Amino acid sequence: MQKPASPVITRICTFTLLLWVAVFAAGCSKPASTSTATTTIEVNRTIFPQNTATDLPDFPTPTATKTVIPTVGTPEPSEQSGLIVFAMGDGQYKHLFVYHPSYLPITRLSADPWNFDFPAISPDGTKIAYCADQYGKWDIFILDLVLNQTERITESETYTCAPSWSPDGQWLAVETYQDGRFDILILPVNKQAADSIKLTENAGNNFSPAWSPNGREVAFVTDRNGRDEIWIARLDNPEDRFIVTAASTGSDYSSPNWSPDGKSLAWSKSGEQPTIEVIHFSAEGNSVISLGTGTKPVWLPDGSGVLSLLVLPNEYDFVAYESTTARLLLPPIPLSEQVSAFDWKSAGLAKNIADYLARVNLPEPASLWQPRATAAVPQSQTNELVEVSGISAPEPYLSDAVIDRFQDLRAALTEELGWDYLEKLENASLSLDSLPPSTVIENWLYTGRAIATNQIPLEAGWMAVSREDFNGKTYWRVWLKCYAQDGSCGTPVRAQSWDFSARYTADITALENGGKENGTLQGYWIDFTELASRYGWERIPSNSDWRSYFSSIQLNVFVLRESLSWLDAMLQLYPPEKIQSFLESST
């Protein structure tokens, strides 16, 4: 069933007008939040799914010589090697894919016109649980690879996602968003067999559940103490259920994931760059080691190491580390778009996936755009500036090489968001006699291949940003608030928003840092940075003086460079002598 279309056409103009009127009339104040009544769920909190050792699946015994480093040729899949299943931005939607670095290229597993996310492979390798907005809201589904059928597990009024299987395959731990915060539920796979159980109900957000292989513990993330911490819920100890496993006053922790034998737990720790850490539990004492840069750790099927996502400013790679020595097991593997979640299991998954793909005929979705061929030696004046219809900007022009992709991005964003964020731009292009908005002379706005989006929604509460640092440079992830806040648009956001206005207060630390973190965003948002990247638009770093000068932050500048340097892009619009004259007059 195709996801119902939202009635945005009838409300876009009205909403846009109201937004700008409200901003200027109210001095750009944030809209008042709407309170909702809390729903009380009566559950028996002492009853949890039980399992015995005989209920657990029989995993193959790994050999000492097993390696995941890509090999020459195409070796046959084995029970031990398994497959990686992941969710990645693809066309207008996010889809599921399968992959193995040795024998299977990235292969589509879904092609329906809605979004898929958080795939989780069942312990026996016959099913994949995931969440999707197929019916308008985010619900849990299970794809049975053997029977070639899909079952809807939840009928959520808001958002339910991030499933994690119990080792007997009879239950799912999931995160749900209600009344402005996350909580964790335990759901029966057979909806007629038992009722759902609410695992968390305290203040703060509780999300990212991970069920232990022994079946008696669930690791998760909570911010109830002010920072994101890793806690473990002990299902057999209702009187003293929760223990803190990873916490820090200066860092956040995310994405807990158990090793196949249950003796270790991996997670990601925030810092200038996120780092993968592993705690090894033992009777002699627990030890924590740092493996390397990455996030969203997932264990290899044989338990020898951890696969993680290497996040770069505008690129994403898979990388794997050995879990005790931190040696690199898998070199960085580039991914075409941002990957949001993934899982890696064996237990017959490779055969089941092969059989499933042989029975279904998955069409390739239409490409968002076709990259233009770029000459090896840039030719002067191969493009021209063209007026962009339907937008408001001081100079509403873009290069004819990118104008179609701007309009495509604008249309897709407006349809999903419910209001036209790109109707008003701070800048589209700059003529060579215009002063740049920052101290950087080689400003991409001169090339006609960049846009500077409007920042007024940031002051009005309809736009937010989170800070991300890479190798000493600061980048920003832009979030846009959905017009409909009922779960039919976007998702809740776990990232910490950044408050630039704090630099103008008496907070000395905020003044020196150019602002401060302002807590987790409430409601439903769209990751504009991720969506724009699907259409080729990349963010750029802030200038080094951004903490002192707001214009140097450049959080709203996005460039469609197509691997061109700034000078190459300029040469597509202007003759060399005119560029030389511009550079001389600007220095």
What are the tokens at 214? 């022994």
Answer for the pair 131, 117: CB distance below 8 angstroms, yes or no: yes
- How does residue 51 score in pLDDT terms, banded at 50, 70 and 90? very low
| Structural domains in the chain plus CATH codes | 83-359 (2.120.10.30), 375-586 (no CATH)
**Element spanning 305, H or E:** strand 305-311
Environment class of 84 (CB within 10 Å of its CB; exposed 0-12, middle 13-18, buried 19+): buried
CA quadruple 382, 438, 421, 488: dihedral sign: positive
The pLDDT value given to residue 344: 97
Answer for the pair 133, 4: CB distance below 8 angstroms, yes or no: no
Nearest to 366 by CA among 6, 90, 2, 1: 90
Lowest mean pLDDT, pick from 197-211, 278-292, 365-379, 521-535: 365-379
Please state, in angstroms and rounded to a whole number, the distance separating the CA atoms of residues 220 and 231: 6
| 3-state secondary structure at position 23 | helix
Answer for the pair 319, 294: CB distance below 8 angstroms, yes or no: yes
The pLDDT value given to residue 301: 95
**Average confidence score pLDDT of the chain:** 84
User: What is the rounded average pLDDT of the residues 61-67?
Assistant: 30
Nearest to 116 by CA among 137, 129, 133, 99: 133
Please state, in angstroms and rounded to a whole number, the distance separating the CA atoms of residues 394 and 428: 8
The pLDDT value given to residue 22: 39
Answer for the pair 353, 83: CB distance below 8 angstroms, yes or no: yes
- How does residue 179 score in pLDDT terms, banded at 50, 70 and 90? confident
Please state, in angstroms and rounded to a whole number, the distance separating the CA atoms of residues 505 and 75: 62
C-alpha 12: how far from chain center: 26
- End-to-end, the C-alpha distance of the chain in Å comes to 59
The answer on pLDDT for 56 being more than 60 is no
Answer for the pair 87, 93: CB distance below 8 angstroms, yes or no: no
